[in-house]
Amino acid sequence: MKVWGKGRGLAAAMVLMAGVAGPASALEAECLWSHLAPTKRDSLLESYHRDGPEALNHLNFTDEDLADEVKFCGLTEANGVRAGHLIAARLVVLGSKRYFKEQKGIAGATLDDAWAGLNAEPRAKLIRFAQQATLGKPTNGDDMAPAVGMAEDLNLDLKAQADQTQLVAFIFGKALLESWDGTD
């Protein structure tokens, strides 16, 4: 039995997301999320609302907890263990969207549009930064430069630590959901 997230630090929890997401996985993540018990989804969102990305430190899923969702969403036994990781990536995106809606009046669709509106090169830089950072590998600070452009487009003041944290969380969640190539 594996337990996802229990006793892991934020960096380790973000590492969990690094190799688990991509276009197909984004759909799997949505399926898994939508098939969690409503009370579990609410609890996860409340934890993120209270603790921000630090909520990843408290994720606690066992393989058995997610067995029905894994089957329903078409994951195989071999990749079913990634279910907790996919849910974590989805939680970060949803949690950061909630933060921006409640604190800044920015709709989730506006955040999605800002991400989708990035050209290939800036998007690739953000994805590379997210992957490298979550794996604890050296990063190139220039790769995060497109985040400043996103912040400007969204009228965010990056001097506010909470805004910085939530924008980075959103970018990491989106980048990791988009970039998985199916390998560990």
Q: What is the pLDDT of residue 99?
A: 95
Percent of the chain with pLDDT over 90: 33
165 lies in a domain?
yes
Q: Is the pTM of this model over 0.75?
A: yes
Residue 80 to residue 17: CA distance in whole angstroms: 14
Task: Check: CB of residue 21 under 8 Å from CB of residue 86.
Answer: yes
Q: Which of 6-20, 103-117, 118-132 has the lowest mean pLDDT?
A: 6-20
Burial class (CB in 10 A: 0-12, 13-18, 19+), 88: buried
Q: What is the span of the domain harbouring residue 105?
A: 3-179
> What are the counts of helices (DSSP H) followed by strands (DSSP E) for the chain?
9, 2
The number of domains in the chain is: 1
Three-state DSSP string of 145-177: HHHHHHHHHCCCCCCCHHHHHHHHHHHHHHHHH
- Identify the band that residue 175 occupies on the pLDDT scale cut at 50, 70 and 90: confident
Residue 10, both tokens: 């934020």
Three-state DSSP string of 8-53: CCHHHHHHHHHCCCCHHHHHHHHHHHHHCCHHHHHHHHHHHHHHHH
| Closest residue by Cα to residue 37 from 2, 6, 72 | 72
156 lies in a domain?
yes
184 lies in a domain?
no
Q: Which of 15-19, 128-132, 148-152, 179-183 has the lowest mean pLDDT?
A: 15-19
Q: What is the pLDDT of residue 180?
A: 59
Q: Please give the DSSP secondary-structure letter assigned to residue 1.
A: -
53 lies in a domain?
yes
126 lies in a domain?
yes
Residue 142 to residue 166: CA distance in whole angstroms: 19
Which has more confidence, 134 or 2?
134
20 lies in a domain?
yes
119 lies in a domain?
yes
- Give the type of residue at 92: V
User: Average pLDDT, whole number, for the chain?
Assistant: 79
pLDDT tens column, 60-107: 776 677 777 777 887 766 655 567 778 888 899 999 999 999 999 999
56 lies in a domain?
yes
